[in-house]
Amino acid sequence: MRVFDFDNTLYDGETMVDFFHFMVEKKEELKKYKSIVNFFLNLYNHNMLPMNLVRKCIDKYKGELNYSTKNLDKYVDEFWELHRDKIMKDMIQKVKKDDVIITASLDFLLKPIIKDLPTKNIICTEVDIEHKKVDCVCYKENKVKKYREKYKDIPIDELYTDSYADKPLMQISKKVYLIDKKTKEIKVIKDEK
């Protein structure tokens, strides 16, 4: 089994951050969240974003981000019209039908592009839009939890990721490829032959 992260691995950037900036242009009232998003992004980029802080932020702000599902779908479709070219062709070609994509990205954000991906095996953060509820953020150790729920003890032969935040996944993978966010260079950082 081969597993791929999505952001900065198959997609050139962070989909949630790009979507937030896209939405700021559409909804003026979101500008007040720019500093908190940049704060979280800085922690994430330095692999210093703890799960309890993610959970607190979701709980604090979920009621304030009050979109209708209909409008959200429209914005997500429009977002992908503008950002589809950020899916990295050379990396997406590595993904095969039986491979798995596992990401912290939100399910409603990935839904419009699933049909265009080589695999339909996607594990991501699931959001109940109607009730403004996120059960499990698919990040750090939760990626392993979600992987095990779906694939039990099937070993990960190869993992492709850009971040040491995926260390829990790295620990259960035989071979790990680390993608440099800037140069897109791929290095083997673990190889259990």
Instruction: Look up residue 51 and give its two tokens.
Output: 């799960």
Which residues are registered as beta bridge partners of 178? 161, 187
Q: In Å, how far are 65, 98, 127, 185 from 137, measured between CA atoms?
A: 17, 24, 9, 28
pLDDT at 62: 56
pTM: 0.88
Task: Kindly tell me the sign of the dihedral angle through the C-alpha atoms of 183, 78, 142, 115.
Answer: negative
pLDDT value for 70: 59
DSSP for 16-70 reads HHHHHHHHHHH-GGGGGGHHHHHHHHHHHHTT---HHHHHHHHHHHTTT----HH
Q: What's the rounded Cα separation, in Å, for the pair 79 and 76?
A: 5
Name all domains of the chain by residue range, CATH numbers in brackets. Answer: 2-191 (3.40.50)
Q: Quick count: other Cβ atoms within 10 Å of Cβ 8? A: 21
pLDDT in tens, the chain (193 residues): 999 999 999 999 999 888 888 888 887 777 887 787 778 777 776 667 776 776 666 666 655 555 445 588 889 999 999 999 999 999 999 999 999 999 999 899 999 999 999 999 999 998 887 777 777 889 999 999 999 999 999 999 999 999 999 999 999 999 999 999 889 999 999 999 7
